[in-house]
Amino acid sequence: MSGLFTRSSLLAMIMLVSVLHSPSFADGNLRETPLVRAVQTSRKSVVNIHTEKKAAEDKEARFFSPKSRKVTGMGTGVVIDERGYIVTNYHVIQDVDVITVTLDGGASYDGRPVSYDRKHDLAIIRITVTEPLSVMPMGTSSDLMLAETVYAVGNAFGYEHTVTAGIVSALHRDVEVDETQSYENLIQTDASINPGNSGGPLLNVNGEVIGINVAIRSGAQRIGFAIPIDDARRTIARLLSVERLDGAPHGLVTTDVKSATEKKLVVNEVATGSAAELCGIKSGDIICNVRGIRINDGTDLERSLLAMPRGKVVDLVLQREGREQTLQFTVGVGKSPVIAQSTAQNSEVTVATAEKKTAQVPAVNVSQTNTPPQSKPQTVNTPPQSKPQTVDTEAQIMDRAWELLGLRLESLSDVEKQEVTSRTYPGARGPVRYNGGLRIIEVKSDSVAAKFVKEGDVLLGLDGFETLGPVNLNYILKQDRIQKATSMKCQIYRKGGNPLEGTLLLSR
């Protein structure tokens, strides 16, 4: 008995000495727990989102009424790139007119949607900042444990940066919200998630995001759900795709590999003639770093190349057969291959600027080619998005443009888009401004287009609609729209000049 007492006393003394010599005790601050430190670290990367939109009946009204009602909303976002790119839930920004983003320090910015995925309920918005933002440390959802301590930070009921704590209650939950929205493989937590928390982070005690808060169980107490961060990051990578946003594909098919001990991006396939192949990347390589950004997954790869000028050369560090190598990657070079990575999933991604409902294009009413547009812009009606039909891939849409118009098209880079949108052009009824277009990379030699269109021109508008991207083009060239049409008016921008107008014959 005395031996047992001696051993117990010795253990107690050791524990007491350990506590007395811990940093927190030495500083006289036992209150600063790991959870407190994690909150202090992560909250700089959490933003509050406030939205406004007109009431549905006001939007459908023909004339503006000074008594139009505004509907306000709220949500939360997570900084994923220091240049102001933020991820949130799509339902937070769906159909809104105004997005206001407030940072931890209280500074507010106007936000604009970049891209979104309705099915997976995620969206990217961007704010214009003058100083780099703090990027949220990314954890992994691959090693989550039941009863593990987690906490949520968000704009709960409009109370900014509210912190709630709880545990992981369950994993792999499938939840159906209504007939149009369901989720798979969610994390269930009893950390209080309230209206306004949507789009915010669920974090572990290390301050790493392990989920994106998305839903609560109506009428229940402390039953909330979050999208696992590993699933979310795969969707975010598609939302940040440089091929979609910049028109500068890298030509890589990759896989995120994540566990408790490692996070890495493995190359599965390199498209022939692509920028990646020209760089020297091979299947099986592990991409470690691009222009100083550590690459943990596909999201990091896309954001490392996002908004880089064509022709810019960046350092790319990879690991091949256990040895590290540094290659030179040139942005925007090589062919624009159609790669097979997640084709169906990519079709769920929408680039926000491509279906902007206020987009405008000059109305056309002339009979000859190569004449400047003569009228003010008209409002464009984009295809309804509430009940999506079978969605063509971007490659299928571009192939249809080639067959019907004799034009091979691709998206503009940010630099090229800026050249088009940064100025106004003369019109009969006043200045005309364009919102973007599609670059013409090839013209069919035996087509009518070949008489006045050149490679390198930008297709600004077609059949009275703006051609900002594949979504617009898909709507314009839908079979039920053009089945009786034999020609279409178009607007073309040629570098350094004013827009030209012509007529394209449709090939059958």
How many angstroms separate the CA atoms of 47 and 232, rounded?
18
Helix (H) or strand (E) holding 11: helix 2-20
Active site residue 297: no
Helix (H) or strand (E) holding 63: none
Q: Which of 42, 45, 192, 198 is catalytic?
A: 198
Instruction: Judge contact between 46 and 201, C-beta under 8 A.
Output: yes
Active site residue 198: yes
Q: Which of 50, 81, 91, 169 is catalytic?
A: 91
How many angstroms separate the CA atoms of 449 and 483, rounded?
20
Instruction: Judge contact between 369 and 503, C-beta under 8 A.
Output: yes
Residues 6+ apart with CB under 8 A from 129: 83, 84, 109
Dig out the tokens for 441 from the structure: 């990379």
Q: Calculate the alpha carbon distances from 38 to 49, 51, 164 in Å.
A: 22, 28, 13
∠ CA 362-368-373, rounded to 5°: 20
Closest by CA position to 59, among listed 292, 316, 357, 362:
357
Closest by CA position to 316, among listed 303, 327, 324:
327
Q: Transcribe 291-347 into DSSP letters.
A: TTEE-SSHHHHHHHHTTPPTT-EEEEEEEETTEEEEEEEETT-S------TTHHHHT
How many angstroms separate the CA atoms of 143 and 258, rounded?
9
Beta strands 201-203 and 224-228 are: unpaired
Active site residue 121: yes
Instruction: Judge contact between 134 and 79, C-beta under 8 A.
Output: yes
Four-point Cα dihedral 384, 386, 387, 389, nearest 10: 60
Q: Residue 389: how many CA atoms within 13 Å on its side-chain side?
A: 7
Q: Which of 81, 121, 230, 285 is catalytic?
A: 121
Chain position carrying tokens 């190349």: 305
Return the active site residues. Answer: 91, 121, 198
